[in-house]
Amino acid sequence: MHRHRFEAKHHKRLDSAYRRRILPPSTTLKRFGLKRGMVFADIGSGSGYFLIPGARIVGKDAAAYAVDASREMLALLAGKRPPSNVVSVHTKDGYKFKIEKRSIDFVIASAILHENEPVRFLKEIRRIMKPNAKLLIIDWRKESMRYGPPMEERLTQPEVKTFLAKSGLKTVKSVVLNSRYYAVVAKKG
Ligand SMILES: C[S@@+](CC[C@H](N)C(=O)[O-])C[C@H]1O[C@@H](n2cnc3c(N)ncnc32)[C@H](O)[C@@H]1O
């Protein structure tokens, strides 16, 4: 089972001028440590908001995995002609990624954790992480605002920390990014 997932028909919301201003994708990825040569995975890559800049940062000699449970989203991404190092991965149920265990240096999961059973989802992310890999979670603050998922579906930063610990992951940083989102960084515990 999973919670309500974002629908591809709303994809334009993911790439608004406002979102680009408050959450600039390339700057955000670099700020949290994505570098040239790292093997990168974007879980729930959607229309490629983080995936495409991430693929450029790691460069053509490192893979950038675009993982999504929605074939429509993956098709949208393909339509954007992403860089040649992008590898598209469809996951049927969202809890099993066709990616080798311990193969990824940097994983991002943006605006997606609240859509899933957190521990089941995080354990699968942990499986694909190299021993020293970094996981960057970005999600909606649990505060009343006009946009975003319903309040009861949102997770607080302490809740995310607890779910990470239950999944064998250790929180190394937890910060508020802007009026909408926070970031939690984790490593293998
Ligand atoms: C709200 S969108 C966010 C897209 C992108 N991460 C961003 O920040 O712009 C959520 C995306 O995650 C996908 N998704 C949700 N749960 C997933 C799962 N367990 N595995 C793979 N994709 C998932 C949805 O299909 C959708 O494309």
CATH of residue 76:
3.40.50.150
Burial 58-77 (b: 16+ CB within 10 A, else e): beeebbbbbbbbbeebbebb
CA angle, 125 then 68 then 83, to 5°: 100
Tally of structural domains, the chain: 1
Q: Report the distance separating Cα 38 and Cα 104, nearest Å.
A: 8
Question: Does any domain span residue 2?
Answer: no
The percent of residues in the chain predicted with pLDDT above 90, rounded, is: 90
Question: Does any domain span residue 54?
Answer: yes
| Distance from the alpha carbon of residue 94 to the mean position of ligand 1, in angstroms | 9
Please report the pLDDT score of residue 2 as a whole number.
56
Question: Does any domain span residue 170?
Answer: yes
Question: Does any domain span residue 3?
Answer: no
| Strands 64-68 and 40-43, sheet pairing | parallel
127 is in which domain, residue-wise? 8-188
Please report the pLDDT score of residue 70 as a whole number.
95
Question: Does any domain span residue 100?
Answer: yes
Please report the pLDDT score of residue 13 as a whole number.
86
Question: Is 116 near ligand 1, meaning CB less than 6 Å away?
Answer: yes
Question: Is 67 near ligand 1, meaning CB less than 6 Å away?
Answer: yes
Question: Is 121 near ligand 1, meaning CB less than 6 Å away?
Answer: yes
pLDDT in single tens digits along all 189 residues of the chain: 556 788 888 888 889 999 999 999 999 999 999 999 999 999 999 999 999 999 999 999 999 999 999 999 999 999 999 999 999 999 999 999 999 999 999 999 999 999 999 999 999 999 999 999 999 999 999 999 988 999 999 999 999 999 999 999 999 999 999 999 999 999 998
